[in-house]
Amino acid sequence: MMTQSLLPAVLSALLWAHGSHADGASEFVGRGQIQVLNNTDVATASIADRIGCMNARGEFVLDDCAVFTRLDASPNTLSTSAGNCTFQNPNMPLNTDSIYGQDSHSWFCGEGKWTQYDEYYYTIEGFLRPFVCNGNINCNYDIKAIVPTEGDALPAWQYYWGSQQMDIEAGHWRVLWLWVPVDKE
């Protein structure tokens, strides 16, 4: 389940040691905003590719960007003022357009104990910038092909692909999440 372009990153992940290198990975600590970039090339993607950000409820919005806190110890969860963030809340919309992601729910931050399995968020050493990954090297996210306007709050899903759908499904964009620290200790 890995794309060609992610293979070097996978190797880097095996060598990853928290905080031991001064690259993008070391910035994925403490508090930050999650900016949504319409670029999946980890070598070039930057804030210049920004099309929106994630709000306190874990939705894709234009500029109501929440401050997220990453738990630096295991299980390395993300949370906002609303609560913990998860892809496991069954009340969130399914990604019905995706062949492999049709059973997956959009991201959610809020109250409730939804997690059936550990959901940790990390980045990968070797990435120039701290792109947010989860699960088994999922560093890409799936959104509808829409730039939110003021007041829109849109779903964001994990990106799934496979032999019958080798890239993002029609009508959606594959994006990166960039962690932008808001303060440093």
Ligand X SMILES: *[C@@H]1O[C@H](CO)[C@@H](O)[C@H](O)[C@H]1NC(C)=O
CA angle 177, 178, 182 (to 5 degrees): 130
How far is residue 62 CA from its own chain's centroid?
16
Q: Give the nearer residue to ligand X in terms of CB position, either 125 or 134.
A: 134
Q: Give the nearer residue to ligand X in terms of CB position, either 160 or 173.
A: 173
- The sign one gets for the Cα dihedral 104, 92, 117, 56 is positive
What are the residues binding ligand X (CB under 6 A)? 38, 51, 71, 75, 77, 79, 83-84, 113, 147, 173
Q: Give the nearer residue to ligand X in terms of CB position, either 69 or 95.
A: 69
Q: Give the nearer residue to ligand X in terms of CB position, either 22 or 151.
A: 151
Q: How far is the CB of 99 from ligand X (least distance, A)?
A: 19
Q: How far is the CB of 19 from ligand X (least distance, A)?
A: 20
Any idea which residue has 């709000």 for tokens?
55
Q: Is the CB of residue 126 less than 8 Å from the CB of residue 139?
A: no
- Which positions ≥6 away from 81 have C-beta within 8 Å? 56, 66, 67
Q: How far is the CB of 11 from ligand X (least distance, A)?
A: 26
Q: How far is the CB of 18 from ligand X (least distance, A)?
A: 17
Q: Give the nearer residue to ligand X in terms of CB position, either 83 or 181.
A: 83
Strand partners, 143: 156, 173
Q: Which amino acid is at 40?
A: T
How far is residue 81 CA from its own chain's centroid?
18
- Which positions ≥6 away from 145 have C-beta within 8 Å? 171, 172, 173
Q: How far is the CB of 79 from ligand X (least distance, A)?
A: 6
